[in-house]
Amino acid sequence: MTLEAVLEGIPMPVLLIGDDSRIRLANSAASEMFNRDLGGASVVSLVRQAPVLAVIDASLTAAQAGQARFLLSGLSGENTYICRANPLPDGGAMLSFEDQTQQEDSEIMRRDFVANISHELRTPLTSLIGFIETLRGPARGDVDAHDRFLTIMDREAQRMNRMVSDLLSLSRVEVDERIRPRDQVDLAAVLRSVVATLEGKLSDASVTVSADALRDSFPILGDRDQLTQLFLNLIENAIKYGGTGKTIHIGVENLDRDLALRQPAVRVDIRDEGEGIDAIHLPRLTERFYRVDDHRSRDQGGTGLGLAIAKHIVSRHRGRLKITSEQGIGSCFSVFFPRAQ
Ligand SMILES: Nc1ncnc2c1ncn2[C@@H]1O[C@H](COP(=O)(O)OP(=O)(O)O)[C@@H](O)[C@H]1O
Ligand SMILES: [Mg+2]
């Protein structure tokens, strides 16, 4: 049994160093991590971070085991490792590096998400509490004020309600993202029913829909409820941000081959004639709670979660979402689905 083979069998980067701090053996995971040939190098030149050097020193001079955080910049940014040093019985030490980057990233994302939710819910809640106080105090007996305040309170409560529903949808969509939808669904039929559902909002905003393509049928394997939710949000956004009196263009077409999906696809375009979205916002638009204009989205009763939900629904359908926009001309949200074979 050779030591080299044993080290190779360990998936995490491992180094054996002598009591002169020089590297005696390194597995290929370690050479990959440091991106160089390690034989004979001094570990001090490799690591150079005081906490890690202290732990290594303690293992070599006092035969003490220990661990420290180790940061390494690579091509894809900075990675965080836990470096463990274990003294060996005949002198020297074994160092191992456990990659913590993903864990730390997802921990940060979780914390941010919780902080965002709390903030989003607190705003309407603060306003509700304020109005309740006013109704009990200064506005007691003022019937006009009652009506006005109750209208606002209703709006804020509805917004919290929508926020909670959207959060629930988001977590549901995330849960079944890996389960591929199996039903034959006609995209044109889904879009027709979404447009019919939005009739009221369309006429309130004097927005017309142009959708000649919906006369044909475009079958895909899908989840009808989720597809409805996806297009409801995209068309609602086009109404909200497209502007009063404008037109929303809905296009659907079969593609013999989509380059990114690498198979026959159906493309759905929801295009508006709004102000457009600055290019710097486009890559972040599908992040949870990301809005180009906070006030505008809130005034319209938006939760900032619609596109995050949309992205998950599209990826559950093994499709892709492409957003293009031209300032002053409008935005186009295109969804590509693999075509049902
Ligand atoms: N058609 C559109 N035109 C311009 N901006 C848009 C459009 N659709 C979405 N956006 C921007 O993307 C943001 C996120 O959209 P979404 O997740 O649906 O949240 P919400 O509609 O609740 O604000 C919106 O706040 C808006 O700034
Ligand atoms: Mg929306």
pLDDT digits (tens, 9 = 90+) for 160-212: 999 999 999 999 998 888 899 999 999 999 999 999 999 999 999 999 999 99
pLDDT of residue 235: 98
Look up residue 42 and give its DSSP letter: B
**Distance, CA of 312 to CA of 315 (rounded, Å):** 5
> Which CATH architecture does the domain made up of 103-178 adopt?
Orthogonal Bundle (1.10)
Point out the ligand 1 atom lying closest to the alpha carbon of residue 291.
25
pLDDT of residue 296: 84
The neighbourhood of ligand 2, an ion, using CB within 5 A, equals 233, 237, 306
| 124 close to ligand 1 (CB < 6 Angstrom) | no
The Å distance, Cα 291 to ligand 1 centre, comes to 6
How would you classify residue 26: left for phi > 0, otherwise alpha for psi between -120 and 50, otherwise beta? beta
pLDDT of residue 1: 67
Largest CA distance in the chain: 90
| 293 close to ligand 1 (CB < 6 Angstrom) | yes
| 330 close to ligand 1 (CB < 6 Angstrom) | no
Neighbouring CB atoms inside 10 A of 232's CB total 18
Above pLDDT 70, what percent of the chain? 99
Whole-number Cα distances in Å, 203 to 33, 245, 256: 60, 9, 36
Residue whose CA is closest, atom 25 of ligand 1?
Answer: 291
Above pLDDT 90, what percent of the chain? 82
Point out the ligand 1 atom lying closest to the alpha carbon of residue 238.
1
148, two tokens: 């006005």
The Å distance, Cα 304 to ligand 1 centre, comes to 7
**Distance, CA of 135 to CA of 129 (rounded, Å):** 10
| 237 close to ligand 1 (CB < 6 Angstrom) | yes
Domain ranges across the chain: 3-99, 103-178, 179-341
Residues 83 and 93: beta-carbon distance below 8 Å: no
Confidence band (pLDDT; 50, 70, 90) for 218? very high
Please tell me the CATH superfamily of domain 3-99, with its number: PAS domain (3.30.450.20)
Point out the ligand 1 atom lying closest to the alpha carbon of residue 300.
23
The Å distance, Cα 105 to ligand 2 centre, comes to 27
The Å distance, Cα 327 to ligand 1 centre, comes to 15
Q: Give the pLDDT confidence of 58-98 residue by residue, as tens digits.
A: 999 999 999 999 999 877 788 999 999 999 998 999 999 99
| 233 close to ligand 1 (CB < 6 Angstrom) | yes
> Which CATH architecture does the domain made up of 179-341 adopt?
2-Layer Sandwich (3.30)
**Distance, CA of 24 to CA of 139 (rounded, Å):** 81
